[in-house]
Amino acid sequence: MQQFEKEYRIQNHLDHKNLCKVEGPLLTPADLKYPRLNSNGAAFAVESLSGGQLFDFVSFSGAFEKDLTQYYMRQFLAGLNHMHKKSIAHRDLKPENLLLSDEFELKIIDFGFSENKLSCANMKWCGTEAYMSPQLMARAPKTDVFKDDIFALGVIFFILMVGRPPFVSAMKDDRYYKPIYKGLYKEFWKAQENMSGTEFDEEFKQLFTMMV
């Protein structure tokens, strides 16, 4: 219940068109009058998002065109920037947590792991492995949670542009992450371009490299 109340409080505190909005109050089991709901349960309503997951579109179509990637990355960045200005880190960014409205406007969802940056010094290890920063993967006792979000943003950016993840996880023994870990970015991009059979846009390569 306490964790759910925190998620509600954080999501209700945020107000941006690219963040999923709360619609109504936090409801306790007593409010719901549902006998099977245990005493730790709660619920709250959010806006309806009928456009589906961004992940589904990438899975179906493969890599997006540059213009479409820019369109969604601008919205993604706008929503994330609003969170960070409010001192809130998301901590579980991934394509499955990016939904689309019926007008295909991007919305960041699922604030269950979100925290105020000031209270994150000793937070537990969390998130989804493929999008975790190397500091999180190494179980560092303290990480910059905003940088962790930017790392996940970079992985998602790569998926939109290329149609697949850049590596399995940000570990030095991961075959495709190892060149990044060693600072061998030319080697990383050579391997990625060989795998895709095409050369990537220089601006894309620079932006991705800066994020990770």
Catalytic residues: 92
Round to whole Å and give the CA distance between 170 and 182: 12
Secondary structure (DSSP) of 120-162: -TTPPP-S-GGG--HHHHTT-SS--HHHHHHHHHHHHHHHHHH
108 phi, psi to nearest 5 deg: -80, 135
Query: Radius of gyration (Cα) for the chain, nearest Å?
Result: 19
Q: Which residues pair with 115 in a beta bridge?
A: 89
Round to whole Å and give the CA distance between 109 and 113: 11
